[in-house]
Each structure stands twice: as structure tokens, then as C-alpha cells.
Chains A and B, each alone.
Chain A
Amino acid sequence: MKTLNTLKPGESGIVDSITAEGAMKRHFLDMGITKGVPITMERIAPFGDPVAVRLRGYSLSLRREEARKICLR
């Protein structure tokens, strides 16, 4: 399945599921990364990681390994 980290800047997807556990999953949910939400890759940090995504009208930064735990449909 396609995951968030594979998006290129400017590309978008819709969240399908989260494979993270515990505190990380809770944090994702609290920040609004829930099923069905559209999410856009905004940009990549100068050193290639982390990435910035845009969802629900705001920007969020997360590492690639974290973005890998967000599955898109």
C-alpha cells in the first residue's frame, strides 16, 4: 500500500490507516491524521528529512520513518 513518505512535494493522498502504535499513534490522531482526511506533501527539509505536510488547513512536520506509518488510498 502507498504510504505518506512516498509522496513528492505537491502530491496529495487520502489517509486510509495508521500502522503506528502507542504514543505515536495517539499523537497522529490528535493532530488530525484520521481516516479519510486529505493530506498534501508540502516540502522536504534541506537535509532530506523531515518532511512538511499540509492537512486540515495547517502544516505539520514529521520524519520520513513516521510518514511511512501513514497509509494512503
Chain B
Amino acid sequence: MGKNKTLAIIGNPNSGKTTLFNRLTGSNQHVGNWPGVTVDRKTGQVKYGGKAADMVDLPGIYSLSPYTQEEIIARSFVLSDELDGILNIVDAANLERNLYLTLQLIALGMPMVVALNFIDDCRAQGIEIDCNRLSELLGVKVVPISAKRGENMDELMGMLVGEMEAPRRQPAYLHGVGSAITRAAKVLECLPVRRASLPFYSAKLLEGDAAMKAQVELPPAAAAEVERIASGLSSHMNSEDREMIFADALYDFVEDAVRQSVTRPEDPPLTTTEKLDRIIINKWLALPIFAFLMFLMFATTFGPVGGFLKDLLEGAINGWLSPSVEGALTHVGAAPWLVGLICDGVIAGVGGVVSFLPQIVILFFFLSILEDTGYLARIAFIMDTLLRKIGLSGKSFVPMLMGFGCTTPAVMAARTMENEKDRRMTIMLTPFMSCGAKLPVYALFSAALFPDHAGAVTFSLYILGIVVAILAGFLLKKTVFRGVSAGFVLELPPYRMPTFKGTVLNMWEKAKDFITKAGTIIFLMSIIIWLLQNFTPTFQVAASSADSILGVLGTVIAPVFAPLGFGQWQASVSLLTGLVAKEAVVSTMSVLYGAGSTAALSGVLGQVFSPLAGYSFLVFTLLYMPCMSAFATIRREMGGMKWALGAAAFQTVLAYLVALLIFQAGSLFF
């Protein structure tokens, strides 16, 4: 028994790749990172004929060009020795553009099978695809499947296994450029690369792909020979634009293959997507529909439904769990300090955070639906012009929107933006969106200090974050990111019904992340804070928390925040622990003020903070640098500590200035 074979699923975005991956691997998944970048590397195990193989879910790409980070990752993976076979998933209803990538993959000469997904949608549109004919033309096996309903999964895996056991045929011959590719491939035989993939290297070098040139370091004589073949091709094709020659040749081949294997109805009716788009992104209706959906999303999450579930969970923790545990511990005669640690430290700390789980799950439910239906791309289409005014692009809207859920995945979502300037700016501004973890802080303070206007206060912070992002956008555009913003080429994918399984899986992953964080980081933080505030710097039991290690530390920092209205050491310490996770601000406060329940903490805060100081504290919490997890992601995504520190400093200084302005200006009136 050797090592498991490694297979890769590759396909265009929106081709149903993730659904197929989930279908084939079941719950047998593992998420890691690609070396050097934060793009998720999802690996799962598939079983076939009694054996197991590792299946890698590559990011969705349109081409193996080396421009976006996704393309670079996919390209280096398919050229690596790790790969044993390719499962190319193709949207059958969008065959032409999808097969363009297929042809590039075929040039790799690897064992490969093409899965025609959404074959049912195709039939519904009256489109017939002759898979045998298509398979003959491409020179690889083609299987019609439905990833959603799990149709033909065994055939698919069986064929891929068969391909891996039998050697491959020649790659498809491209009219016009085929002979040049073959001749240049001969020259490249001197390279220490997989021989079967030489046609791919050859095509890329003839095309003038700079990244490929740098990668292979061809000996001068061979490079000159390839160049000679390329210029011969140029004069033969009567065009200097070699990229164009190759793209044309690939698309010509695809068009011909589609013509020979696909039968369309004489007079094709409008597709459902075309009909829906007439309404959903209609010139007049687009904005009202968009506004309504956003309202629905936020109102459900933070309004009655989310609020009710949150209260329910909170009630269960404070009203039942905490007293029961305290009772049980006292009953078995546990030391008072242990009861304090568990009830006031762990349960108060972790519980304060866990009660927000329902709202976070609801928010991610909506985000997942918006993405899976194809509406997110439409949002980018609708909002592009507005976002451009502050130097961003319509594509920034998606990361920004996700920022209301969690900054970490939101920063990663910016990866789809090919323009570096737009991407960096989006990453710097996303933390100003009120992430789910900031909500507990808002909810606590607004209930304590503004009992009659709690909703309005929380809402104002969401708006303030957006306003600050817009102003900061203007500022950055005029300074750090000067110059034209580029590029908004975006597919508007067909509308699709989200699958129940996919949505639940997505929500479950987010919920798991959140619970894991509460169970590990917040749990540890709660214990550490409890210890630090019960012992003095000389490790004696502290008579009061002000004498404790935390008290001393907080007292040193506190004066910095005095001008903002919150000079209490507890506030400073909470902001520090908030760097670990924003929701820790709440748990820290409940530990520091010795409040066993949210209601008790509310009462304490009402005495310690004036409403204005409390609001200033919230503004600072909203705007200052994001939590460590987000910071680490920003560092990786921005490609350097210098950028990440710059962004953090920018955010924190801005937070200080805005909070200072609000408190000092407010003091004049209140």
C-alpha cells in the first residue's frame, strides 16, 4: 500500500464545485491553508473500489492565467507532483466558457474526467448534450451529473479511477496553434518537469506568459528556439498579439465542439435567470429590492427573532446554569474561590459571549443564502458606482457586508478582487463594519445606559462605522492609495436555489468556529482575567481588584483614555482583552466588576459610566484595531507586518480621535 492518490476538483466559480466536493467527501473534510496564503485548502477523503483518495477542493477559477491569487494557487498545484488526477466540474448550461478552462487542463496531460453539472437545468431549457460526441472531441471522458441530487457519483469516480490506471491519450489538437505547441514542447523536453504537461508549458511560453518564463528558467538556446517558433506563429497568424491568438484558438475549438455536441431549441425561451434579472436588477426596482433585503436581514438578526433567541439562551445560562452549578459546587463543599472562578469567571465570561450565538448564526444564514442564490454578485453590480466614489469597487461590497458577521472571513473574501489597490483598501476599511463580536458590547452598554433608546444607540453605531469607513476611504484614496481604481469584470451567475444541506453546513461551520472560540480563547481569557484580578503583582491574594495585577496594569493605561471619558482601569483592561476577541470586552467587565449576571453588570455600568462616556467607549470599541485573529489574517492578506501594523495604527488613532471628538463635543451640551 502506497500513499493515497491525490485528486483535485477544478472548475469555474458557480459551477457547483463545493456541492460536488461535499457530496463526494461527506463529513470527511479538513480545512488547512495553502502555503504562504490564507486561501482555505479544503481536503477530504473519497472512497472508491475499497481504496481511499485525498480530494483537494481548488478555488474556483476561469483560467490558469497567473493573475488572481486563486489562479496562482490552482496553477502551481496542478503543475506540482502532488497531483494524480483531475476532476473538472463544468456548468453544462454555460458550456462554452467552462470548456475554455477544460482545454487548458487537458494540456496538462493528467488523468482527468469532465463532470457536466446542472445537467437537469440544461434539460429544463431544452438543451441536449451528446456526451459521447463531446468526449470524442475533447479526448477525455465526460459524465453528466447532478451534484445537488447526487446523480452519477459512482460512474464519475469509477471513470476517474479508470483514467488513472490507464495511460492518457494525446491532448486535443488546436487548429492553428497546435503544430507550434508540439514543436515548442519538443524543445522543452530538456526541462525537469512532468513530461505529460509539456503542451501546457509550451502553450504558456509561446503565449509570452511572464510568470511561466520566470518559473522554468529555460537555457538561452532553448529560449531562443521557443521565441523563433512563437514569431513564426505570429507571422503565420498575421497577428502580433500572441495572447489573443491562443485565446482565439481555444475558444474556436470550444465553439466547434459545442456546435457538434449540443442541440439547442430553435427558438430558446428566456431562461429563469434572464426573467428574474429583468425584475431584480431592473433600473427602478433594483434599489428598493436591495434595501428591502438588507432591512430584512438586519431586522431578523437583531430584531425580534434574533433578540428572542438570545434572551432565551441568556436566561438559560444566568437563570438556570449558573445557579445550578453554584448550588452543586457548594453542596459538594467546594472552596469559595473555586465557586467564584467557575461561576463569576468561566460561566459569566463564556456565557456572556455564547448568548450571541443565535444572532451570529442567523446573520450567516442570510449571508450564505445571498451568496448561494447568486445575489451577492448583483449587489456588486448595483453598488459599484457608489463605492467607486470612495475609491472602492462594487466587489468591495461583499467583504464589507461579511464584515458585519466576522472580520476574519470578510478580509479573506477580498481576495476575489484582482486590483491590489482596491483589495488593500477594502481590507483596511472592513474592520469598521460592526462585526458580530462587537454586538455584545453595544447591547450591554445601550441596555445599561440608554434603556429607553437601546435599539437606536446600537443602530447609530452600525451607521457610524459605515460613515467612518466612507470618510476614511476618501482620506486613503487621496493619500496612500492614489491613482485610478481598476477593473470591474464580474460574472452575474445564474440564480440558483440554495441547497438545504449547503446552507446548514455553512451555518454549522460558523457556529462551530464561534463556539470553539468561546470554549477555548474566551474560556482561557476568563480564567486568566479572574486570576489576574484576584492576585497582586507579588502573588498575594488581592484585598480589592484595584490592588490586583490587572488593576495595577489598568491604572497605568487608564489616564490615556481619561480625555475620552472612560478613565476607569476596568475599561482599559477590557479594551486590552478585547484585542484577543472583541466579545471579551463583555466577559472581562463582568469578571472585573464581579457581576454574576448581565443584569447585575448593567446595574454597575449605569453607576460607573455616564451615558456620554459609555457612548464614547462604544465608539472606541467599534473603531479601534480588530481582534488578533483578524489582525493575523490582515497581515497574511496584506503580505507583511508593516501593512498590518500600519492598518492597526490607522484604525486605533482614528478610533481615539473620533471618540475624543464625540466626548469633548458632547460634554459641551450634556
Contact = CB atoms under 8 A, between A and B. Distances in A.
Contacts of A46: 281, 283-284, 286-287, 382
A43 B487 contact: no
Interface string A2-42: 00000000000000001000011111111110110100001
A61 B487 contact: no
A52 B437 CA distance: 37
A2 B386 CA distance: 28
Contacts of B243: 25-26, 29
Contact of B381 (A18, A28, A50): A50
A4 to B, nearest CB: 12
Interface string B480-494: 000000111111111
Contacts of B488: 50, 61-63, 66
B247 A30 contact: yes
Given A27-B418, A49-B384, A35 B244 contact: yes
A19 to B, nearest CB: 11
B100 interface: yes
A18 to B, nearest CB: 7
Interface stretch (B59-67, B106-114, B155-163, B627-635): B59-67
Contact of A29 (B247, B274, B281): B247
A52 B274 CA distance: 11
Interface stretch (B88-96, B292-300, B329-337): B88-96
Given A26-B67, A37-B251, A63 B94 contact: no
B487 A24 contact: yes
Interface of A: 18, 23-32, 34-35, 37, 42-50, 52, 56-63, 66
A25 B63 CA distance: 13
B489 A31 contact: yes
Given A45-B286, A60-B492, 12 more contacts: A18-B244, A26-B243, A27-B65, A27-B67, A31-B97, A43-B282, A45-B381, A56-B96, A57-B93, A60-B490, A61-B381, A66-B488
Contacts of B132: none
Interface in B463-493: 486-493
Contacts of A27: 65, 67, 418, 487, 489
Contacts, number: 114
Contacts of B394: 50
Nearest to B248: A34
B244 A30 contact: no
Contacts of B179: none
A20 B485 CA distance: 15
Contacts of B493: 58
Dominant SS among interface residues on chain A: mixed
A64 B386 CA distance: 15
B273 interface: yes
B251 A30 contact: no
25 contacts: A26-B63, A28-B489, A29-B247, A30-B247, A31-B97, A31-B491, A32-B97, A34-B244, A42-B277, A43-B282, A43-B283, A45-B281, A45-B382, A45-B384, A46-B283, A46-B284, A46-B286, A50-B381, A50-B394, A60-B489, A61-B377, A61-B490, A62-B488, A66-B487, A66-B488
Interface residues of B, number: 42
B385 interface: yes
Given A59-B277, A59-B492, A45 B385 contact: yes
Interface in B47-68: 62-63, 65, 67
Contacts of B94: 56-58
Nearest to A23: B67
Nearest to A49: B385
Nearest to A32: B97
Given A24-B486, A56-B96, A59-B277, A30 B381 contact: no
Contacts of B287: 46
A25 B386 CA distance: 25
Contact of A44 (B67, B283, B386): B283
Nearest to B278: A43
A34 B486 CA distance: 21
A66 B419 CA distance: 14
A11 B67 CA distance: 32
Interface string B239-277: 000011001100100000000000000000000011001
A44 to B, nearest CB: 7
A58 B248 CA distance: 18
9 A-B pairs with least C-beta separation: A47-B385, A29-B247, A30-B63, A59-B492, A56-B96, A46-B286, A63-B488, A61-B381, A61-B490
A25 B248 CA distance: 13
A66 B281 CA distance: 20
Contacts of B381: 45, 50, 52, 61
A34 B246 CA distance: 10
Contact of A52 (B96, B100, B386, B492): B492
A23 B251 contact: no
Interface string B486-521: 111111111000000000000000000000000000
A35 B105 CA distance: 23
B247 to A, nearest CB: 4
A66 B489 CA distance: 8
